[in-house]
Structures are given as structure tokens and as C-alpha cells.
Amino acid sequence: MKIAMVSPYDFTWPGGVTAHVSHLARELGRSGHQVHVLAPQTPSRQCEDADRFVPMGRSVPLPSGGSIARVSLSWWLYPKIRALLEKEDFDIIHLHEPMAPILPLCVLEFSHAVNVGTFHASNNHSHLYKLSHPITKRWHQRLHGAIAVSPAAQRYVNNTFPREYKIIPNGIDLDHFTSDAVPWPQYRDGKTNILFVGRLEKRKGLKYLLEAYSKLKWENPDIRLLVVGPGNPDKDSHRILGAQNLQDVEFIGPVSQTDLPRYYASADIFCSPATGSESFGIVLLEAMAVGRPVVASDIEGYANIISNDKQGILVPPKNSDELAAALSRLVKDPALRRRMGEEGRLTVDQYRWEEVARQVEDYYYQCLDSANGHFGARAI
């Protein structure tokens, strides 16, 4: 098949949707399909998948759900997109966050292919979808098939755009995130390491982890907190760090994908205290793949991945006391950490990219059959 993978987000900046698109395109390419990735770009930044990347406009940063979304807002893309679609004559156009501005909407306007949308986002409120619904509903109706990456994402989009959604999760590269990852030697000094990975945004809940850590540190002086991810601590986090004079907290900053598994391997416990709006938990899968127990907020996107007291411990969001209690339990019980880590490694196998891409490919054929009659004997 000839497939266009469309993302509204700048393909040269790291992010969950960008990583998903990149891995899925790569895996479908390995299966023999011809895949092009259409997305905005920042010309000064490099792109890993340059051989299949078709740049579509420059991006601008916009606040979105407590984060920054880098999207193109140029309607001048219309003639370029129309010419590209006519020239390439794709069998499938797979749009990620298809109702996001502006690239997916432009593609849907001119597409004569079978259109499949994947919805990644989740939020406690659906104001954005509801506000844009009168404008975007006609484009949503052009989708021949719709995927949600989790029940949380399905619930979020279905509130405004009700229809049948196929749940196909995010994937993980189990050849990259592996229990064979080598820890950094400086963290093998006998201290128990707690790891946080994520952008330093309020919704990731770092301040609650810092509060919990300050409680733990009094009773467990031989612990260390490693904070990996781009951004700067917010005012509340700075206040906690200063007021408690916390020791053994290292802000490592952004790290490369090559180095990231080594930080998981250096950890004894992984903690993700997100406050909500997480449709999935890719960082949970990464930690589980390396064999680390997880302490995470009991939010829908996370609870769909781990079960309490199996791969880790779920705690109420925004509750530093419960977070401290869960972390303390694992700090004091190495055998429990090993058991949960082993359970996590078994669980994560179902999320390998080969399996996720197979499910997506099967769904493409279902959509082709429904739209065009039988597409043939699964010809490529």
C-alpha cells in the first residue's frame, strides 16, 4: 500500500505523537509498504526520518493542555497539499489528531483516499472539541475509520464526535528499552534511585513528587531523586526545593533517546505523578520494559496500562502523602520491587511496535474493504 502519515505537530521536535508516527511509519515500511510522513517542520532542526519526511510548512508554538504544541497555521498549504495528493495517489491517508490545526484539515479537504484518524489526546474536559465542533464536524465525517490509543482517548473524543473507535495502543521499541540496558556507574553507589521522566510542566505533577520525596528523605537518607526531561521547575517546585533544602535531587535535563534506557536502568523505582490529561503512559511502558516497578497516579490513561500491586502502585493524583507511602513501601522492600519489575516486563510485550503495526495494518484493510469493496488479497 501507499500510505501518507499526517501529523499536525512539528516533526523535528520530540513528542509523543511525533514518536508514534515515526515508529509506526518505520514499522509499516519494514512490512513492505511505501510510507510518506507529512508534517510541519523547523528548518534549522534535523529530522531522523528524512528519507520519508515531506515537510509541510513551518510550525508556530501554541499553548495546549498545559504543554506547547508546535503546529502550522498556514492556509497557504492548500495548493501544495492538493498537488501532492494528486501526484502521489495514496491508498491510505492516516491522520494523527485529525481535528488539530491545520495540516490534517487541509489534507482531509482534498483527500480522495481512504482516510483513517488516530486520536491521541485525553482531558477531563472536552471544551476544545466542543468549541471547534461546528467547524470541524464536516472533516470528521470524511474519516473512513477512527482509532483511539486508549479508552481514555476514546472517551474524550467520543463525547463530541460519537462513532465507533478502534482502540489500538501506542507502541514501544523493546529492542531499545530492555532489561539489558547498562546503568550509569555514578548512580551505582548503594543509594536507592527514584526516577522521574517527562517535560517539567505542571500537569506532570513534579511538585507532588518533590513533596513526597521531602517526607521520605527524613526516614530514608540513602535515596536519590533523578529528574530527566526538558524545561524548568515551576515556582511551587522551586519553593519546595528551597524550603526543604532537599539533598540528592538531580535535574539532568533533556537526554537523547540513546541514553534514556540507561537512566531507567539506573533507577530502582520509576515515578510518574501526573495530575491528569494523560491518554496513555508511554513512560510507564519504558520503565516496565527495563524491569522497573512503577508508582503512578491513578488516572485513566495510566490505570489502563498497569494494575495496582502488580506492575506497580497506583495512588490518588495530587496526593503527596499517598505518593510518599507508596514510594516508601518500595524503598524498603527490594523483593517487592523485583516482583513488580518482572510483572512489568511480561506485560509490556503486548505493546511492541511489531504488534501495534500489525493491528493498524489490519485496520487499514478493514477500512479499504468497507470503502471500496474488497481491496484484493492484501496486496502491497
Q: Is residue 177 part of a domain?
A: no
Q: Is residue 178 part of a domain?
A: no
Please give the pLDDT value at position 377.
39
Q: pTM surpassing 0.85?
A: yes
Residue with cell 511509519: 25
Q: What's the domain count of the chain?
A: 2
3-class state of residue 257 by DSSP? coil
Query: Which helix (DSSP H) or strand (DSSP E) does residue 337 occupy?
Result: helix 334-348
* Torsional class of 143: left (φ above 0), alpha (ψ -120 to 50), beta (otherwise): beta
Determine the distance from the C-alpha atom of residue 266 to the mean position of all C-alpha atoms in its chain, rounded to a whole number.
Answer: 22
* One domain for residues 150 and 217: no
Q: Considering all CA atoms of the chain, what is the largest pairwise distance in Å, rounded to the nearest integer?
A: 67
3-state helix, strand, coil in the chain (%, to 5): 40, 20, 40
* Cβ(274)–Cβ(296) below 8 Å: yes
Q: Is residue 179 part of a domain?
A: no
Q: Is residue 215 part of a domain?
A: yes
Whether pLDDT at 135 is above 80: no
* One domain for residues 296 and 362: no
CB crowding 209-237: b at 16 or more within 10 Å, else e: bbbbbbbbbeeeeebbbbbbbebebeeeb
Range of the domain at 265: 185-350
* One domain for residues 24 and 157: yes
* One domain for residues 202 and 286: yes
* One domain for residues 153 and 275: no
* One domain for residues 16 and 165: yes
- Lowest mean pLDDT across 100-109, 133-142, 179-188, 214-223: 133-142
- Provide the CATH number for the domain around residue 291: 3.40.50.2000
Which residues, other chains included, contact 242 with Cβ-Cβ below 8 Å and sequence gap of 6+?
A: none
Q: Is residue 180 part of a domain?
A: no
* One domain for residues 129 and 146: yes
* One domain for residues 141 and 198: no
Q: Is residue 146 part of a domain?
A: yes
Please give the pLDDT value at position 379.
38
* One domain for residues 362 and 310: no
* One domain for residues 108 and 199: no
3-class state of residue 147 by DSSP? strand
Q: Is residue 380 part of a domain?
A: no
Q: What is the CA radius of gyration of the chain?
A: 21
Q: Is residue 377 part of a domain?
A: no
* One domain for residues 338 and 362: no
| Other beta carbons within 10 Å of 164 | 8
pLDDT digits (tens, 9 = 90+) for 42-68: 888 877 777 899 999 888 887 766 667
pLDDT digits (tens, 9 = 90+) for 191-210: 999 999 998 989 999 999 99
* One domain for residues 9 and 146: yes
